Amino acid sequence: MNAQRRGSLLRGRWLANRNPFCRLAYLGNSYWNDCMAITLRPFLLLCPRIYTPRVTRGQILGATMKCCMPNVLGLAVFLFAFAFIGLSASSASADQYSVDFPKKWERAGTCMQQEQINGGNFLHCHIEIPAGAFPGQYIRQVTFTCEPANSGPCQHTIECGHSGTCGYHANPVEPVGFNGQNLTAVDWWGWTVDGNDATLHFDVVVGP
């Protein structure tokens, strides 16, 4: 090893104890033939005191790109696979969406039915999974609320299954046991004695 090279390495050892960038650059400067060491050589740009005349900055960057391009491509493939797996995992997890129906008979899409029982009218809402939902997801839970909650139309509106008011619709969601049948559509049943409008709001949980 000539004196110039030895002096460069000695300066590198001295600086490496004082600057983390120089520590990395010193490693790259000492082991030029090692691919991982070449990766470290751009740190020479942050630590010019151990820069050697035999290697230009352009050569450092060029060698780094040539050596590490396969690693960069491999990293890109890994990140793509990781994103795909994450997307698949999210599609397999439970999700939730909301859907609203009008209550008043004159409204388009109303749940109000002409059929009556116990002095009130049935409410029947057909709930489906949105067209954009991930494949393999099914309705697991349906939660009903009437809005605005303190209004007269909501105070006189219930979902079936309470006190036998709905007669043969003994459950609010049909078919019975829907959450174990892998269904993409269910029917909700309610009852009201108030014909005024309100919003029948449903939070629907879907999952695999």
| 40-52 residue pLDDT tens | 555 555 555 444 4
pLDDT of residue 163: 72
Mean pLDDT (the chain, rounded): 75
- % of the chain surpassing 70 pLDDT: 55
121 closest CA partner among 155, 160, 76? 160
SS3 for the chain is CCHHHHHHHHHHHHHHCCCHHHHHHHHHHHCCCCHHHHHHHHHHHHCHHHCCCCCCHHHHHHHHHHHHHHHHHHHHHHHHHHHHHHHHHHHHCCEEEEEEEECCCCCCCCCEEEEEECCEEEEEEEEECCCCCCCCCEEEEEEEEEECCCCHHHHCEEECCCCCCCCCCCCCEECCCHHHCCCCEEEEEEEECCCCCCEEEEEEEEEC
- Answer whether residue 177 shows pLDDT above 50: yes
> Under a CB-based contact definition with an 8 Å cutoff, are residues 102 and 199 in contact?
yes
Handedness of CA 165, 169, 174, 178 (dihedral sign): positive
Verdict on whether the full-model pTM lies above 0.85:
no
- Answer whether residue 124 shows pLDDT above 60: yes
Distance of CA 207 to CAs 41, 139, 141, Å? 50, 7, 9
**Residue 53 — very low, low, confident or very high, per pLDDT cuts 50/70/90?**
very low
Cα distance between residue 205 and residue 64, in whole Å: 51
Cα 128 to chain centroid distance, Å, stands at: 22
**Residue 31 — very low, low, confident or very high, per pLDDT cuts 50/70/90?**
very low
> Under a CB-based contact definition with an 8 Å cutoff, are residues 146 and 208 in contact?
no
Please give the structure tokens belonging to residue 66. 């040539």
Average pLDDT over residues 113-142: 91
**The amino acid at 148:** P
Please give the structure tokens belonging to residue 11. 């300066």
pLDDT of residue 198: 96
158 closest CA partner among 123, 190, 180? 190
pLDDT of residue 135: 84
pLDDT of residue 9: 53
Q: Which of 25-34, 147-156, 161-170, 183-192 has the lowest mean pLDDT?
A: 25-34
